[in-house]
Amino acid sequence: MIGQTVSHYRILSKIGSGGMGEVYVGEDLVLGRKVALKFLLGEQTTDPESLERFLREARIASALNHPNICTIHEFGDHEGRPFLVLELLEGRTLNDEIGERPLPLGRLLDLAIQVADALEAAHAKGFVHRDIKPANIYVTDRGEAKVLDFGLAKLGFNRRGHGLDSRALTTPIPVAEHRLTGPGTALGTVAFMSPEQARGEDLDGRTDLFSFGVVLYEMATGRRAFAGPTTAVLFDQILNRTPPPATRFNPEMPGALEHIINKAIEKDRDFRYASAAELRADLKRLKRETDSTRMSVAANPAPASAPAHFAARRGLTGVAAKPAVWMSAVALVVALVAAGAYYLVGSGGRQIETMAVLPFVNASGNPDTDYLTDGITEALINSLSGLQGVRVSARSLAFKYKGKDIDPLKAGRELNVKAVITGRVTARGNVLVIQSDVMDVANGSQLWGGQYNRPMADILAVQDEIAGEIFDKLRLRLTGEDKARATKRYTQNAEAYQLYLKGRFYWNQGTIGGYKQSIEYFEQAIAKDPKYALAY
């Protein structure tokens, strides 16, 4: 077709072809602009279903005037071949952008916010896309996300009810990985289908949010959330399996992003995000916090000589600064989550008087620091257990979930608590990143969350400041005794504290060898601080 004139468009070159159509670059001879022309494939022109889908794409996309939705200028027919005239986009699909590797966080958030905004616009008009996947999201050279292909979209739902039907494949068909997103086929949507879409139930906008959550997972990890050799395996995963934690494949990913993804891919849509606007708000909040943290760290770099100098001026002569940092990290997390717990108990909303602290994740990937994350978890359990009106699951129950890929909400239901506390600790050079979240087991919502990035050398100095900010931000009315309990230190000797944590780590292994090592560490801690009662 190259060189031909179709209506008032001259065909210049071919962009590509897919399961439903061929796309060409064309020149608008009237307006003097370049456009994209999408022609329905010849064998599809006599298929009523293909024609219906093609026309549906034109009608729906043309009704959505949004910067993150590909604009359709015109629908026409050339010698019995229907065609669409679309804005010409220069760039590549999100599928190519990901390329089996995690996207940088800033890039991920920018694109995700734009896609969420496009979905909100479509849902506001009553349209549900039903085929959100990386191949249907285009990333322009200017960094703009464009949602494509509304050929499977339906009109007829509103925010208060359902009204869309969907058919799902039920025959196990062997498929190659590259065909899981084949354009225009039901097979292509399987890996990104929502559970309700796979079951053939009525749909609303939340089905797009599930699919978008699966896309976010791939953006964050470079891997599919659901993958398998047949559609039957894929359906089983979508309906019954939880994907591995995204942080397993991308330890640098913020815990807040993992929470967003997990909430988007909730199998029960009543526990999922209620709207694209709600999801977009969480993404924007995370972007704001990330940008703020990046500027804070850039503006306050720690000098190379800071650790030893800092230890000296804090009176920790003869003690390495790094143990002091770890001790303060534990105390800091205790302060953060204890503040969150008080917020839950003391707020005007539903009372949260039972909670569980799941083992914190060592996101640094260094097994030598496992004792630190275990120590933080134990410290939280002990600290929160001392607060009036709060029942905390025992350590022996909580640590059954250590190292397991389990949904925190499922763990909370199994432990019969109303809230679950999760967290992760990452050491990035001289910066310590602490993330903790409190989740409502009843509905999967985030009740409280905090993330702090601080240069390790400064963390002792800012510990009280951060705790004060948390107390003030949540408008807590704590007595002096409450604050002291949340941040209590049982020794001022940082090295003794580190030795104590190592002793606890080996003690909890429950083996003869572990007991012997723990005794050695406890004795070393006592030698550093003879008044250290916990070590005794």
Q: Which of 472, 521, 487, 139 minimizes the C-alpha distance to 332?
A: 487
Q: Show the tokens assigned to 300.
A: 């306050």
Angle at 415 between CA 393 and CA 473, to 5 degrees: 60
Show the tokens assigned to 473: 């931000």
Tell me how far apart the alpha carbons of residues 319 and 493 are, in angstroms, rounded to a whole number: 8
Any idea which residue has 């989550």 for tokens? 337
Q: Residue 178 in contact with residue 223, Cβ under 8 Å?
A: no
| Cα 149 from Cα 128, distance rounded (Å) | 12
Q: How far apart are CA 122 and CA 126, in angstroms?
A: 7
Cβ within 8 Å of residue 392, ≥6 positions away: 354, 355, 356, 357, 381, 384, 385
3-state DSSP call for residue 357?
A: strand
CA distances from 155 to 17, 168, 535 (A): 27, 19, 66
Rounded to 5 degrees, what are φ and ψ at 451? -140, 130
- E strand or H helix at 362: strand 361-362
Backbone angles phi, psi at 459, to 5 degrees: -65, -30
Among 56, 65, 52, 51, which residue's Cα sits nearest to residue 153?
56
CA gap 250, 102 in Å, rounded: 7
CA distance 478 to 484: 10
- Say if CB 443 and CB 412 are below 8 A apart: no
282 is catalytic: no
Residue of 47, 77, 117, 131 marked active site: 131
Specify the DSSP class assigned to residue 289.
Answer: H
Write the DSSP string, 370-421. Answer: HHHHHHHHHHHHHHHHTSTT-EE--HHHHGGGTT----HHHHHHHTT-SEEE
CB-count burial class (<10 Å; 0-12, 13-18, 19+) for 440 = buried
Q: CA-CA distance, 273 to 289, in Å (whole number)?
A: 21
Alpha carbon distance 224, 217 (integer Å): 7
Taken in order 329, 334, 339, 340, the sign of the CA dihedral is positive
Question: What angle do helix axes 206-221 and 255-264 make, rounded to 10 degrees?
Answer: 140
- The catalytic residue positions are 131
